[in-house]
Structure 1
């Protein structure tokens, strides 16, 4: 008698028993590929959602490295406005795998020749992390000096890492056409000015995203062959798109590409694992209730549930209860400022296209 290949497999493999009739979040959603211990030295980077991962790990006593800690003269609530208390170094949000690749290449001696310093009202900004000083630096020389110190810390922290946690956020980016260098934000939003002759919009395809991630991880593993990698995909939608598509379809395309790359990396590399934060927040069972009214910001209570799934999978009953943390006013202001800047960039891009 012929048996169905689906007979005898786990209940988690079926939509009815794994989702429709299961508690939410599903208790057996995430099965770690490798053990994460409290002695592992962890480096975090990626889009803004990666900050939640690092915060939850620290709360549970994990060893999350911070090579550029907040200095004492900056209050804790102001740390994120200056690039502190966010990731394992002061690189700010790394939205794309191209940003990650280029950061690693620059840190280990392969910088590109491009307009790396932006000016606004007599102040100077690092074009690759313009958010780290709200009022900019006093001189271009000060920007260069700070970046040199930053790259030294990048080399230091990645050289120590046992585990690298990276959150993939976007496929869309702005770049410097002569060099191919990708910016963290569109020129002209925080500082500098947009010039269609030298700046271009890019929407990286699946093969490009994967090639960049492969190259970055290969460079890191050459330094540290035992490095393990945990990938996540940010559930936060695009604030705006420069692709001329509707923001909903642009978001769906971007997240689909990133999720596909994460899945292929997990399948191709035994040291790479994937944690489904994206699915937890955006599934039909979560619905819009897991987002703030703007349907973009993830509620702190939702973040707490996502990270509880992660820590319980690794620590079991020893995981600390994760409570929702109220967003500080400075973080809220920073988020609103970023959204305004992105909307401004989208308007300027549309005007530039009409002028052509």
Structure 2
């Protein structure tokens, strides 16, 4: 007996492997998927500007990454004793101007080093509403809790969003002519917009992605995270306490669907191997000083050595330290 409406998810036209270089940009959902990929040691650059909610900010982030721009004091503003950038999430903000600039520019440097080899991008769109500074008309990525009087807020029309998404594709194709792009719409509802306005916003994003998919059939696929959340996981037990964000269980469920769609058998097998290693690291033995447990640790270290020899970019330094500390 089926107890939910099942979303039919087609197998992706391409598969992700550990040799892929991944760039994730977008909303909180991009963060969730990015963290999952990082946990499994994929080669990932996740949200170098922090969380980006709207397509314009994502397109702008890609342009800045491809440029030689270095952020300077004139690019920041101060509000209530904290320095911010309108291009960045508040995770880059600081009470010291120098620290804010250092966080922004060091992240840009590391991301730019990875950008030329990016083979797959995962773009998560959150909203069609975009805030503009009244003083300059500049669209902003984050309002940083400034009063509404400083902004003009507008929902972009389908043609505008589609054009922005097309710009995203053009920028990425110049970067890598064979790039694959997975578009998703964030399942997180923007309730401050109101129920109806949120639906109009999400519908605009969905229609724009559909147009881009038609225009770039060899490069673009769509993963239905929004549909899975709205239909398969419509029960409120799959939501966090705010009743808007997906719960950890829902994120894990959507992640499993994502893996089924885009991971090939070899990749899934490596992921299983790494999962066993993680469980071994987290294992709490009855007797930590026993010879059997020490052998268990040495075998786990050997498994890490084998997997890192095959995939040198695996950053397993913390795991190795954790295991070796248990031998002392």
After TM superposition, give the deviation of residue 145 of structure 1 in Å: 5.2
The residue that corresponds to 1:252 in the other structure is: 199
The residue that corresponds to 1:221 in the other structure is: 173
After TM superposition, give the deviation of residue 119 of structure 1 in Å: 1.0
The residue that corresponds to 1:58 in the other structure is: 38
**Which of 249, 262, 266 does residue 301 from structure 1 map onto?**
249
Q: Secondary structure at the match of 2:198?
A: helix
* Distance in 2 between residues matched to 1:300 and 1:215, nearest whole Å: 33
**Which of 38, 43, 55 does residue 97 from structure 1 map onto?**
55
After TM superposition, give the deviation of residue 171 of structure 1 in Å: 1.1
Uncovered stretches (5+) of structure 2, i.e. residues with no partner: 276-328
Mark the CA change 1:194 to 1:288 in structure 2 (over 3 Å): closer, same or farther. Answer: closer
Larger helix percent: 2
Residues 54 and 126 of structure 2 are in contact (CA less than 8 Å); yes or no, is this contact kept in structure 1? yes
Residues 53 and 307 of structure 1 are in contact (CA less than 8 Å); yes or no, is this contact kept in structure 2? yes
The residue that corresponds to 1:290 in the other structure is: 238
**Which of 149, 157, 160 does residue 114 from structure 2 map onto?**
157
TM (norm. structure 2) is: 0.71
After TM superposition, give the deviation of residue 267 of structure 1 in Å: 2.2
TM (norm. structure 1) is: 0.66
Residues 49 and 167 of structure 1 are in contact (CA less than 8 Å); yes or no, is this contact kept in structure 2? yes
Residues 59 and 320 of structure 1 are in contact (CA less than 8 Å); yes or no, is this contact kept in structure 2? no
The residue that corresponds to 1:266 in the other structure is: 213
Compare 28-37 and 149-158 and name the one that shifted more. Answer: 149-158
> Computing the radius of gyration over CA atoms, which structure comes out larger, 1 or 2?
2
- Over the aligned positions, Cα root-mean-square deviation in angstroms equals 3.1
Uncovered stretches (5+) of structure 1, i.e. residues with no partner: 1-20, 67-86, 242-246, 323-356
1:133-172, aligned counterparts within 5 Å?
Answer: 133=92, 136-139=94-97, 143-144=100-101, 146-172=103-129
After TM superposition, give the deviation of residue 293 of structure 1 in Å: 4.5
The residue that corresponds to 2:86 in the other structure is: 127
* Distance in 2 between residues matched to 1:308 and 1:284, nearest whole Å: 13
The residue that corresponds to 2:295 in the other structure is: none
After TM superposition, give the deviation of residue 227 of structure 1 in Å: 1.2
Mark the CA change 1:177 to 1:218 in structure 2 (over 3 Å): closer, same or farther. Answer: farther
Mark the CA change 1:142 to 1:284 in structure 2 (over 3 Å): closer, same or farther. Answer: closer
The residue that corresponds to 1:338 in the other structure is: none
* Distance in 2 between residues matched to 1:265 and 1:293, nearest whole Å: 35
After TM superposition, give the deviation of residue 105 of structure 1 in Å: 2.5
Compare 94-103 and 310-319 and name the one that shifted more. Answer: 310-319
After TM superposition, give the deviation of residue 142 of structure 1 in Å: 5.2
Residues 31 and 47 of structure 2 are in contact (CA less than 8 Å); yes or no, is this contact kept in structure 1? no
State the 4+ residue runs in structure 1 displaced beyond 6 angstroms: none
Residues 54 and 64 of structure 1 are in contact (CA less than 8 Å); yes or no, is this contact kept in structure 2? no
After TM superposition, give the deviation of residue 181 of structure 1 in Å: 2.7
